[in-house]
Every structure is written in structure tokens, then in C-alpha cells.
Structure 1
Amino acid sequence: MPETKKIVVNRISDQENLDKVFAIRREVFVGEQNCPPELEWEHEEESTHFLATVDGQPAGAARWRKTDNGYKLERFAVLKQFRGQGVAQAIVGAVLADLPADANYIYLNAQIQAMSLYQKFGFVAEGPQFEEAGIQHFKMVKR
């Protein structure tokens, strides 16, 4: 029987944990996916950030922010060595649970390979496929 890993996702705002979030995003988006660094660091101040840990080790990150359209979920990233262990699902669940009660329009821009994850949480693709930072996406809206 495989050993059970303890996945914890916390809303964070202190600089030490923000540094861990930014390091995860730098490794996944800038390092692995070749996203331009200048695109990666927008809207940090108005965002609510999350850090996922596995057995106490930083493993994943995400954020949400209020926009003119509604509540946008962004920057979901899981380090390579923690993928396939339920970290992404735990992050999505924690971010959704943290949204204000009046969050009636919730959306995100999903990379194609992550769409099935968001579909499990009730998101549906809306509109045409598009490119963002050199990666194909669909806008998805929570129904």
C-alpha cells in the first residue's frame, strides 16, 4: 500500500510563504513552460495567494483576485515531483472554498492539459481557444 502523503493548502500573505509561492511559479511557468518572466508577476498585490505543501514541503501554488468581470482563479502550479498526488485538486478546492459568498461569476484561463481538472469542479469551456504566454488555453467558467 503506498504511503499517504499529507497535503495542506493554506491562504498565505507573509513574505516568507509568498517567496515559496513565487519560487514554485518561477520553476513551473518560467523554467518549465518558458513563460516570459515579466508576464508572471502581474497583479500580485490585489491577489489572494495559496501555498500547498506535501508533508511540509512546498509543492504548489495558486491565487484568486477580483476583476471587473468577477473572480478570476490564476497561477495554478504544482512542482513536477508532486504531480499526480492530488495536490492540484486540493489547491482548486481550497481556492474555491476561500472565495467570498457573493462570488457568483468565477472563471479562469485553463491550459489545455489542465481542463479536465477544472471540469471536475464544475468549470466549462467558453469561447474560442487562445494563446497566452505561448501556451494554448480556454476560458472556463464555473457553472
Structure 2
Amino acid sequence: MSLFVRLADWQTDRGDIRRIRQKVFVDEQKVPPELEWDEHEESAQHFLIYHHDKPIGTGRLTGGGKIGRMAILKEARGLGAGLELLKRICKFARVSGQKNVYLNAQVQAAPFYEKAGFAASGEEFMEAGISHVRMDLTLSDKEPCENVDDWNR
């Protein structure tokens, strides 16, 4: 599989990041654009994942260990890109000194994050008109999901 994750810079890579998130969140999931783009864009550490040199997904890490804006283009789902992206973000957080990370998962995506070792905490809530749940992960020396045998089941 030709997947590659790299650190991205909002100033340099904004076009690819915006294109992916526009397609996934605004066009596909109908998130209002004014809720998609926020004050964290310039300060967050962004990531891009590529398949055969084409950017197919993005995510970011903001202060306090919050993972967010994870998006994989529809035509690239099922390649394992989401897991690879999540693993790289967690590894970056761990190397940067974070002990814990968290995210607000769309409820329909919670099983994906549970397989990666995240645990739901708290009640479901609405964000951008979509039901979410907070999920937490304590970072250790082992990679998230390293024990998952068949991720694409």
C-alpha cells in the first residue's frame, strides 16, 4: 500500500487541506463553512496523508492534545488511510510530550476510534448538527491499533 503521512503547514498546504475538508465536511456532511474553519487553523499542527503521491486525507492536532478535523476523501476510504493518519498524529503527540490525546468523534465513527484504543467519556452532544462523543487515549510506548489484525473488517 502506498500511503505516506507528512507534517503539513497551514500556510503552505492550505489548498490541499481546505480541498479535502471542503469535500468531506462541507459538501458531503453538510457542515456549515463558518463552523468548519476556525481560529485554530494557523496554530494547529496539520497532517496530510497521500496515496500514490495524491493527498487523500488530513487531520490536525491542537493545544492540549486535541485531535480534530480528521477527513479521508470518499474515494480513498477502505485503504487504511484513516488508521495510518491517526497513528501518525498520536505518535507526533507522544514525541512532542503529550501524555494523553482526545477527540470529539462523530458517533457513527466511534467504533473506528475504539479499535484504535480510544474510550468514550461523557454523554453524546451535538456539534455542527452531528451527534458526537468525546473520546480519550492515554499515550504509551505502543502504537494505537498495533494489535488490530484486520482493520478493514
For normalisation by structure 1, the TM-score amounts to 0.90
Cα distance in 2 for partners of 1:17, 1:33 equals 23
Q: How does 1:79-94 map to 2 (within 5 A)?
A: 79-94=73-88
The aligned counterpart of 2:109 is: 114
User: What SS does the aligned partner of 1:81 have?
Assistant: helix
Offset at residue 14 of structure 1 (A): 6.1
Deviates more, 1:85-94 or 1:97-106: 97-106
Query: What CA RMSD, in Å, does the superposition of the two structures yield over aligned residues?
Result: 1.3
Offset at residue 105 of structure 1 (A): 2.8
- Kindly indicate whether residue 89 of structure 2 is the aligned counterpart of residue 95 of structure 1: yes
Q: How does 1:41-52 map to 2 (within 5 A)?
A: 41-42=37-38, 43-52=40-49
User: What SS does the aligned partner of 2:43 have?
Assistant: coil
In structure 2, the gaps of 5 or more residues are: 139-153
Q: Output one character per residue of 1:69-116: Cα deviation in whole Å (capped at 9) or x when no partner.
A: x21000000000000110100100010011144312311000112112
Offset at residue 34 of structure 1 (A): 0.5
Identity fraction in percent: 39
Describe the shift of the 1:139–1:14 C-alpha distance in structure 2 as closer, same or farther (beyond 3 A).
Answer: closer
The aligned counterpart of 2:33 is: 37
For normalisation by structure 2, the TM-score amounts to 0.84
- Kindly indicate whether residue 93 of structure 2 is the aligned counterpart of residue 65 of structure 1: no
Does the 8 A contact of 1:24 with 1:59 survive in 2? yes
Q: Which amino acid aligns with 2:86?
A: V
